[in-house]
Amino acid sequence: MIKAIIWLHVLRFWRLRYSFLNMIVSNAMWVLLLILGVLLFVPRSQLPYALKSAYWTIACWSVISSFSSIVGGWTNFFISLGMVEEHMLRGISPFLVISGRLVVASLVSVVTIIFMGALVQSLFSIPLFDIRPEIALFSFTLVSVESLLYSLLVSAISMRSSISEQFLEILNFAVIGILIVPISVIPEGLRIFYLSIPYVAPAYILKVASGSEVPDLLIIATAISIIEAIAFLLIALLAVRAAESHIRRNGARAIGFY
């Protein structure tokens, strides 16, 4: 069954390749537009630090954003095709099929980050990929897991009640505003509280990997990230089970995102 789900998403990815290519180039260009604006404020001497910090924060956010739109946002399409009932009748959880979007979201995120980095690096001649790969990979794994579970939670809610896509986009945008703040500007007593905001700890780990943050709180951030991921998992599982049981009793209401 897992093989069939992965095959479905790979096949769809290939069928809509131009659309995904468009999404990758488009994401990279929006990021470049944003970075260019921010860099206008930065003195030349601070450029390498500011660029690295801004780039890796945005890379982390682009994973969160891609997962929530590619996984969570796909629910609407899945519901409107009538696929929820079809899968449940055959004993397959619709959320398992939706989780298969992990393949597409990961592919889009990886290619976007590489393309975006290569573009920014060539424009400013500042090495962006000079990072600690094992820490970066660990951070990206944590962010991906948290984002996938958050997307499943949103999917589960959207099976029972309407969810405004615009508000989710605004929420996504607010996340980047929180992630971009360097930990050094947060008062010392509030740093752990700051790291406890969802996604902040993995983003901090990524910034440590890139050398744009000091690694003083690395162990605490790792612990917070893992606890957060487990909490996300439990909440998502509960929401998915509740949604499935609701659909079995009441049927899919085809609400989703609007």
Partner 1 sequence: MSLIALFKSGVFLDLYFVKNNRANLVSFLLWPYLMLILMLGAGFLFGSTQSFRSNVGEDVDPIVFFVSSTLIASASLSVMWDVGGAVLLHRWAGTLPYVLLAPYRTSIILVMAYIPRYILWSFIQLAEFLPPLILRKGVDALIIDLPILSVSLIVGMLPLLGFSAIFASILLVTKEESNILSWLNPIILILSGAFYPSYLFPLWARVISQALPTTHTFELARLSALMSAPGVREVILIIGILLGMSALYNALSYTMLGKAEERALGSGSI
Q: What are the tokens at 216?
A: 């003083």
Q: What is the DSSP letter of 71?
A: I
- Nearest residue (CB) to partner 1, 149 versus 179: 179
In the complex, what is the shortest distance from the CB of residue 241 to partner 1, in angstroms, rounded to a whole number? 28
Q: Which is nearer to partner 1, 54 or 229 (CB)?
A: 54
Nearest distance from residue 164's CB to partner 1, in Å? Answer: 4
**Residue 46 or 245 with smaller CB distance to partner 1:** 46
Query: In angstroms, rounded to a whole number, what is the distance separating the alpha carbons of residues 249 and 258?
Result: 24
Cβ proximity to partner 1: between 91 and 177 the closer is: 177
Q: Are 204 and 183 in contact (CB under 8 A)?
A: yes
Q: What tokens were used for 124?
A: 């400013």
Closer CB to partner 1, 81 or 223, in the complex = 81
Please work out, in degrees rounded to the nearest 5, the angle formed at the alpha carbon of residue 190 by the alpha carbons of 189 and 194: 150
Counting runs of H as helices and runs of E as strands, what totals does the chain give?
12, 0
> How many alpha carbons lie under 13 Å from residue 145 in its C-beta half-sphere?
17
State the minimum distance, in angstroms, from the CB of residue 234 to partner 1: 30
Give least dist CB 77 to partner 1, A: 12
Please give the residue ranges that form the binding site for partner 1 (CB under 8 A). 16, 18-19, 21-22, 25-26, 29-30, 32-34, 36-43, 46, 50, 53-54, 164, 166-167, 169-170, 173-174, 176-177, 180-182, 185, 258
Alpha carbons 193 and 160: distance in angstroms, whole number: 33
> How near is the Cβ of 149 to partner 1 at its closest, in Å?
25
